[in-house]
């Protein structure tokens, strides 16, 4: 017998009781060959290539769901950063490119398309500037397009001009989508050390170092990890670590199976498997609740950063033993609006913006899906970004900021984004100003330990 009855029951429980799923299969597609002399021709090539290359993505995903009984929540597309593709056209407004991406994704039934992006960690090209200036209108005019800007790296330092500009862009995007609590900002992320093979939105793009196309998979199972810890209330930290690592191994093997099968059916290479504990607003699918299962009275209290560090590390160790192609982020996400345990922690006062920043030093990404007061200044948003970029730069890890200043709302009010994005209490920001700091501009140099040859 290949599987014991216990193993079969354990697998069924993972899906039926503990909300294990494939969070996303993301097809990466290069658009570098779509560059053209005119915007109309470039967009025609982009549309044609998306329809041709990603035409079977949704049907393949649904077929695998049906055959294997494994939920695949989103079918997504990631393309070459548009700033690298549209520069040859002379267009000054890149909003039509976002609309082309959105229309093609809608036609194919794809949930999200990422890649309305620019890589500006060391400086701007004219195309980068045009794309960044187009972000507010592009995200207001589309429903499926996601945007990202890489503003820093451990090798290049922090482009503070980009950080300053992105604070204003986030404000503008929120105002243009004010009728839905600034939801445009939920599709916009600012990175340090952005990975080129990330299957998770809003930061997915098909990096210039990637091949023609590939299939990346994002797996998630916070509920499975929490259930595994519940069975060992008396375990010490060595034993807890081992439980998490073994559970992550099992989850990753399932993702590897789905990813390789989907890639084969699509006729593209299998790229990477990202094992990230990515929560949803559903009860029982929370990273915060895992931390509390370790013995914390509430996520955010003293000891939370240590607990999160162990969780993230053990997830990575279990994942790399289960797949030879682990990539993306891989670890644990701590978005506020997408995690019911995090929402509760904010409501009861155990988590503040400052505590979240500390937690980002050890989690997979950074400040994620955080609702801010609508009157938060662009300079304050830029300063929040700068702090997060510094954590990523110095620690040679990916960090990111996805914050949403909610028009017309103040700290303590509720912001609703819907679906997997959930909703969250608006969090207070520090009242002391940062404008003089942000307005200096220029570049914060890379740390000394980045000089490695």
Q: Could you give the CA distance from residue 112 to residue 327 in angstroms, rounded to a whole number?
A: 20
Of 291-295, 321-325, 347-351, 434-438, the poorest mean pLDDT is in 321-325
pLDDT tens profile 261-302: 889 899 999 988 888 787 777 766 788 999 999 999 999 999
Confidence of residue 4 (pLDDT cuts 50, 70, 90): low
CA distances from 14 to 2, 206, 228, 259, 450 (A): 19, 31, 10, 18, 41
CATH number of 23-192: 3.20.70.20
CB 369 within 8 A of CB 422: yes
Tell me phi and psi for residue 75, to 5 degrees. Answer: -110, 120
Q: Could you give the CA distance from residue 21 to residue 306 in angstroms, rounded to a whole number?
A: 27
pLDDT of residue 18: 54
What's 220-269+278-450's CATH class? alpha beta
CB 373 within 8 A of CB 428: yes
pLDDT tens profile 46-86: 999 999 999 999 999 999 888 887 888 889 999 999 999 99
The domain ranges of the chain are: 23-192, 220-269+278-450
Q: Check pLDDT > 50 for residue 3.
A: no
More confidently predicted of 286 and 387: 387
Mean pLDDT of the chain: 89
Q: Could you give the CA distance from residue 326 to residue 94 in angstroms, rounded to a whole number?
A: 33
CA distances from 384 to 44, 92, 345, 410, 427 (A): 39, 29, 21, 18, 13
Of 65-69, 433-437, 444-448, the poorest mean pLDDT is in 65-69
Comparing C-alpha atoms, which of 126, 139, 227 is closest to residue 175? 139
Q: Are strands 213-220 and 145-153 parallel, antiparallel or unpaired?
A: unpaired
CB 336 within 8 A of CB 370: yes
pLDDT tens profile 189-216: 999 999 998 888 888 999 999 999 999 9
Mean pLDDT of 154-165: 96
Q: Check pLDDT > 80 for residue 1.
A: no
> What number of CA atoms fall less than 13 Å from residue 281's CA on the CB side?
12
pLDDT of residue 147: 97
Mean pLDDT of 10-19: 57
For 252, the token pair is 């990753």
Comparing C-alpha atoms, which of 130, 34, 23 is closest to residue 76? 23
CB 398 within 8 A of CB 191: yes
Mean pLDDT of 115-124: 96
For 172, the token pair is 């503008």
Angle at 222 between CA 6 and CA 205, to 5 degrees: 120
Mean pLDDT of 423-447: 94
Burial label, 431 (beta-carbon count in 10 A; 0-12, 13-18, 19+): exposed
Burial label, 415 (beta-carbon count in 10 A; 0-12, 13-18, 19+): buried
Q: Do domains 23-192 and 220-269+278-450 have the same CATH topology?
A: yes
Q: What is the largest CA-CA distance in the chain?
A: 69
Mean pLDDT of 173-186: 95
For 374, the token pair is 């609508």
CA 334 remoteness from chain centre: 10
Q: Check pLDDT > 50 for residue 179.
A: yes
Helix (H) or strand (E) holding 191: strand 188-192
Confidence of residue 2 (pLDDT cuts 50, 70, 90): very low
The helix-helix angle for 57-68 and 237-266 (nearest 10°) equals 130
- Give the predicted TM-score (pTM) of the model: 0.92
């Amino acid at each position: 017998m290949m599987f014991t009855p216990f193993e079969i029951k354990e697998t069924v429980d993972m899906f039926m009781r503990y909300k294990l799923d494939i969070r996303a299969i993301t097809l990466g597609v290069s658009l570098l060959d779509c560059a053209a002399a005119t915007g109309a021709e470039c967009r025609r090539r982009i549309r044609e290539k998306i329809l041709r290359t990603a035409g079977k993505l949704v049907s393949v995903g649904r077929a695998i769901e049906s055959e294997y009984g494994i939920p695949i929540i989103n079918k997504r597309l990631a393309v070459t950063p548009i700033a690298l593709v549209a520069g040859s056209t002379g267009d000054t407004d890149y909003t039509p490119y976002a609309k082309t991406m959105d229309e093609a994704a809608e036609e194919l039934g794809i949930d999200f398309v990422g890649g309305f992006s620019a890589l500006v960690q060391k400086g701007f090209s004219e195309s980068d500037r045009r794309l960044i200036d187009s972000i507010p209108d592009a995200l207001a005019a589309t429903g499926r397009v996601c945007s990202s800007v890489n503003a820093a790296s451990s090798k290049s330092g922090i482009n503070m001009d980009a950080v300053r500009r992105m604070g204003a862009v986030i404000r503008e995007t929120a105002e243009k989508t004010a009728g839905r609590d600034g939801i445009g900002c939920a599709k916009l992320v600012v990175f340090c050390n952005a990975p080129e093979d990330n299957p998770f939105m809003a930061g997915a793009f098909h990096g210039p170092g990637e091949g023609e196309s590939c299939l990346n998979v994002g797996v998630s199972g916070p509920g499975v990890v929490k259930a595994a810890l519940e069975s060992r209330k008396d375990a010490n930290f060595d034993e807890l670590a081992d439980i998490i690592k073994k559970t992550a191994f099992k989850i990753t093997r399932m993702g590897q199976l789905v990813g390789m099968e989907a890639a084969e059916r699509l006729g593209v290479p299998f790229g990477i498997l990202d094992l990230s504990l990515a929560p949803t607003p559903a009860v029982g699918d929370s990273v915060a609740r895992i931390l509390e299962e370790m013995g914390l009275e509430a996520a955010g209290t003293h000891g939370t950063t240590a607990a999160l560090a162990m969780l993230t590390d053990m997830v990575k160790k279990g994942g790399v033993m289960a797949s030879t192609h682990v990539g993306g982020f891989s670890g644990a996400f701590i978005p506020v609006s997408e995690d019911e345990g995090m929402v509760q922690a904010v409501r009861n006062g155990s988590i503040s913006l400052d505590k979240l920043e500390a937690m980002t030093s050890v989690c997979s990404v950074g400040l994620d899906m955080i609702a801010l007061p609508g009157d938060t200044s662009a300079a304050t948003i830029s300063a929040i970004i700068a702090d997060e970029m510094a954590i990523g730069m110095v620690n040679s890890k990916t960090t990111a900021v996805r914050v949403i200043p909610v028009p017309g709302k103040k700290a303590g009010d509720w912001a609703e984004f819907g679906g997997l994005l959930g909703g969250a209490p608006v969090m207070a920001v520090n009242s002391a100003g940062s404008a003089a700091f942000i307005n200096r501009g220029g570049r914060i140099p890379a740390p000394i330990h980045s000089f490695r040859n």
